[in-house]
A and B are shown apart, each in its own frame.
Chain A
């Protein structure tokens, strides 16, 4: 029995309801020799038999609408119910705010169901009213701050209706609450990416320089933000992948960042695999620039990289020792022309 079955009003069999006498319920086709049959409750079985009947007739009525509510509560994953419900809402010209309230309840009961979120998206698209959405998603995050559907919905709302204001602060708030919330860090990237897109869109002709300065300001801001979180726990993966992503977005080199390189040197004492991995990536950038095949400088950088891989394999990140050993070998072959 799904959670919401108990939320439904006391059951009167459809068979016994006067207003449903004209409908012949359509049983589900199970085939000649069904295996692994689901043990439906009588209520479930009957509700869906009546659903199939009205669905087949394409009946657009109040009673059909009520029926879809019951069916959706019993199995919110049945997408035919939702498609039909949308058709009914349109045909009966129903109040969409009321529908959003219903959705708020059912989403809270089934927060990881695809169909309820899709339905909410369709209703908002139809009403063109996103005014409840940021608060709704923020509320959902208090129960589960990493709900994928919720983040996806929030991103859609923001993109679709241009509600970017305050989102950077929202991510900061969530990260402050839990710096390990990778979804919040992803959302921050989503916002910063938009900031950069805006800059690049407005930059034209002579404004090109202003664009680069503004980018540098954003990069600096994000470095400082990430640094603050890294300082609290350098073993947290999220800020590291985030800041590397931001560097990439800005087309900037890791090894040229005095701040980041100094931070890494300082944090080596924490024995964080992310610090070592960052240094490996930064030094690989350098190797890439120097070109391949054994100059003294290349060999020296390569030695550092191999040393870092060894530390990771043998001490700091032993679960991935095969990977770090493989990486060391790969880089040595690439930059020193060692035999495979």
Chain B
């Protein structure tokens, strides 16, 4: 898995879907989360590469985030990109006010939910991603996020607890 992920590292410093394809927010998140979950992140990427990756992600922000250079901002990237930054420990460097403002503008004022951009049609995916995106930027009373699994930190703690119990049971 690690070998394939590395092969997908683009000259831009972020990850593509397949080797030599374009670096993209979605694949970058998947790559980084996978590496983190398997404990391989700091083994597979050296300091310079992590640095370049962080910069690429941060450069996706205008107000909200886009998934590739010169592409429009889309609320779901407030998860894919900001989530990646969270895994990299770079959340403090995000411009949270601007991100929150963009996300809130993408709500449908009549039926609710979030769309990819303001004045567009809301859908479940963007509603979910925008909500998590708001949580990552510390909005209101939204719970802290475990970015690697896209669940709440509380839920992840519960998973850890379950694993601990299972290990005990197995005598590991």
Q: Do A and B bind each other?
A: yes
| Contact residues on A (Cβ < 8 Å of other chain), bracket | 20 to 34
Residue contact A320 to B68, C-beta cutoff 8 Å: no
Residue contact B11 to A245, C-beta cutoff 8 Å: yes
Residue contact A319 to B62, C-beta cutoff 8 Å: yes
Residue contact B68 to A182, C-beta cutoff 8 Å: yes
Residue contact B22 to A183, C-beta cutoff 8 Å: yes
Chain A 186-215 interface 0/1 with B at a Cβ cutoff of 8 Å (1 = within): 100110010000000000000000000000
Task: Flag the segment in B90-98, B108-116, B148-156 that touches A.
Answer: B90-98
Does B105 sit at the interface, judged by CB under 8 A? no
Does B71 sit at the interface, judged by CB under 8 A? yes
Interfacial residues of chain B within 1-32, with CB under 8 A of chain A in the complex: 10-13, 17-18, 20-24
Residue contact B17 to A182, C-beta cutoff 8 Å: no
Instruction: Give the secondary structure class of A's interface.
Output: helix
Instruction: Give the secondary structure class of B's interface.
Output: loop
Residue contact A182 to B71, C-beta cutoff 8 Å: yes
Residue contact A323 to B21, C-beta cutoff 8 Å: no
Q: In the assembled complex, which residues on chain B have CB atoms less than 8 Å from the CB atom of A244?
A: 11
Chain A 308-340 interface 0/1 with B at a Cβ cutoff of 8 Å (1 = within): 000000000001101100100000000000000
Does B127 sit at the interface, judged by CB under 8 A? no
Q: In the assembled complex, which residues on chain B have CB atoms less than 8 Å from the CB atom of A151?
A: 21-22
Give, as a whole number of angstroms, the nearest-CB distance from B92 to chain A.
Answer: 7
Which 7 residue pairs are nearest across A and B when measured between Cβ atoms?
Answer: A245-B11, A180-B70, A186-B22, A182-B69, A237-B69, A322-B93, A323-B93
Q: A186-B10, A319-B61 given; name 18 further pairs at CB < 8 Å.
A: A148-B17, A148-B24, A155-B21, A180-B69, A180-B70, A182-B68, A183-B22, A186-B11, A186-B22, A193-B20, A238-B70, A245-B11, A249-B11, A319-B62, A319-B98, A322-B92, A322-B94, A323-B55
